[in-house]
């Protein structure tokens, strides 16, 4: 047992109390609408929490065979999969362990439908592209952008295709509120409405920021009910972020402080290795007790112990001077963090701990030199 300030660093800490708060909100959406909510494992795959998650929501969704296996083994509830293209050698096992298999193209569907039929239970779905962009900020997360490979456009959809599948799937949102879902649904209805009447289910993907403070849950509920009642559909949602939003930390220690047009902290965690979305998205992760540059008396640039010059997290200010050996706590670090770590530059992987509601932490995973070596040859 550790307190959070005693954990060896770097360390991800999963906040179980916060996770459960999120799950209660999602559970209420299920209860009030009959929609089923699945964890998108791409965002958060901490399977030691799957028994807890499975108490509140209906199952898991996967991006391929490995995530599908993990969901089946560790949660064992409804298990779905979508991939832009499946590999032939994975299909038989997917058909055994998944309830829904969602295809991205007519060719993929027709190629693998016989495997699904032979397996017995897995239902086929198709991903559609409603060609309705509702986000400006993050072009790399916009599957409706021109030239997108994600989903079939209405101009390529046919009655014959509709007869081959059990349901449709779209995923177009990213960290968005239910007003953007409403806009998207108008496009989906306008372009695919006549085929929706033939379907058993509609999967509305992820990107619904349901557990964020300002999220309009009532509007989400009316969207779900509208689709359910108009077309007689079972509705699915597959959020990743909303499940584990604000439910984790990355605890790091200051290794050195150098000077170049201001003070620079060198931390024992890395944006490139441990928080790659900071560079990829990019964004400035929240840091406990800090302010914007200049907001508090002491401003520092936070950087990392890799050899990548651009491995810089951002500028933050503090109430007091930072010293070598101090600990910093990055917040909202459960999502798209542990699933994305790498050992670039031979940087150690952060260990993983779980904090219970009383604030006691237990270490659930530690990594070492072997984890670095085993991925190479
Ligand atoms: C990434 C993804 C999700 C989860 O998205 P969040 O933004 O984490 O909620 C759900 N479905 C599909 C198909 C995805 O690619």
pLDDT range class, residue 138, cuts 50, 70, 90? confident
| DSSP per position, 85-153 | S--HHHHHHHHHH-SEEEESSHHHHHHHHHHHHHHSSPEEEEEEE------SS-GGG-TTSTT--SSEE
Q: Is 206 in the pocket of ligand 1 (CB under 6 A)?
A: yes
Atom of ligand 1 nearest to the CA of 174: 7
How far, in Å, CA of 225 to CA of 329, rounded?
41
Atom of ligand 1 nearest to the CA of 127: 13
Task: Give the number of other Cβ atoms within 10 Å of residue 186's Cβ.
Answer: 12
pLDDT digits (tens, 9 = 90+) for 194-229: 999 999 999 999 999 999 999 999 999 999 999 999
Residue nearest to atom 7 of ligand 1 (CA): 207
pLDDT digits (tens, 9 = 90+) for 184-196: 999 999 999 999 9
* pTM for this model (two decimals): 0.97
Q: Is 238 in the pocket of ligand 1 (CB under 6 A)?
A: yes
Distance 270 CA to ligand 1 centre (A): 24
25 has a pLDDT exceeding 80: yes
Q: Is 285 in the pocket of ligand 1 (CB under 6 A)?
A: no
Residue nearest to atom 2 of ligand 1 (CA): 206
pLDDT digits (tens, 9 = 90+) for 152-193: 999 999 999 999 999 999 999 999 999 999 999 999 999 999
Mode of pairing for the β-strands spanning 361-365 and 263-267: unpaired
Task: Provide the mean pLDDT of the chain.
Answer: 97
pLDDT digits (tens, 9 = 90+) for 307-345: 999 999 999 999 999 999 999 999 999 999 999 999 999
Pocket test for ligand 1, best of 208, 239, 242 (most atoms within 8 A of CB): 239
Whether residue 41 contacts residue 8, with contact meaning beta carbons closer than 8 Å, is answered with: no
Please report the domains of the chain, with CATH numbers, ordered by start residue.
4-12+248-333+341-373 (2.40.37.10), 34-244 (3.20.20.10)
């Amino acid at each position: 047992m550790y307190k959070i300030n005693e954990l060896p660093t770097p360390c991800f800490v999963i906040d179980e109390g916060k996770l459960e708060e999120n799950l209660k909100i999602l559970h209420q959406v299920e209860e009030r609408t009959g929609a089923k909510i699945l964890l998108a494992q791409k965002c958060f795959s901490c399977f030691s929490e799957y028994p807890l998650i499975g108490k509140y929501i209906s199952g898991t969704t996967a991006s391929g065979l490995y995530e599908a296996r993990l969901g089946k083994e560790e949660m064992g509830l409804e298990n779905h999969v979508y991939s832009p293209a499946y590999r032939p050698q994975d299909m038989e096992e997917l058909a055994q362990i998944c309830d829904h298999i969602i295809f991205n193209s007519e060719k993929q569907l027709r190629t693998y439908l016989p495997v699904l039929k032979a397996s017995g239970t897995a239902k086929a779905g198709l991903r559609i592209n409603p060609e309705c962009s509702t986000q400006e900020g993050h072009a790399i997360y916009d599957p409706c952008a021109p030239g997108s490979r994600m989903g079939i456009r209405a101009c390529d959809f046919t009655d014959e295709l509709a007869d081959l599948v059990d349901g449709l799937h779209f995923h177009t949102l990213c960290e968005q509120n239910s007003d953007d879902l409403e806009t998207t649904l108008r496009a989906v209805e306008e372009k695919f409405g006549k085929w929706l009447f033939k379907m058993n289910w509609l999967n509305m993907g992820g990107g619904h920021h349901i557990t964020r403070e300002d999220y309009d849950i009532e509007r989400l509920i009316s969207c779900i009910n509208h689709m359910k009642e108009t077309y007689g559909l079972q509705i699915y949602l597959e959020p990743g972020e909303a499940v584990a939003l604000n439910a984790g930390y990355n605890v790091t220690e200051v290794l050195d402080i150098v000077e170049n047009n201001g003070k620079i902290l060198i931390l024992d965690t890395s944006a490139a290795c441990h928080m790659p979305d900071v560079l990829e998205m990019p964004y400035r992760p929240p840091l406990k007790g800090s302010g914007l540059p200049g907001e508090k008396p002491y401003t520092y640039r936070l950087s990392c112990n890799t050899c990548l010059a651009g491995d810089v997290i951002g500028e933050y200010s503090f109430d007091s001077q930072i010293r070598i050996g101090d600990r910093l706590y990055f917040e909202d670090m459960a999502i798209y963090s542990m699933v994305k770590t790498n050992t670039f530059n031979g940087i150690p992987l952060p260990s993983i701990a779980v904090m219970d509601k009383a604030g006691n932490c237990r270490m659930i995973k530690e990594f070492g030199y072997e984890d670095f070596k085993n991925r190479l040859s």
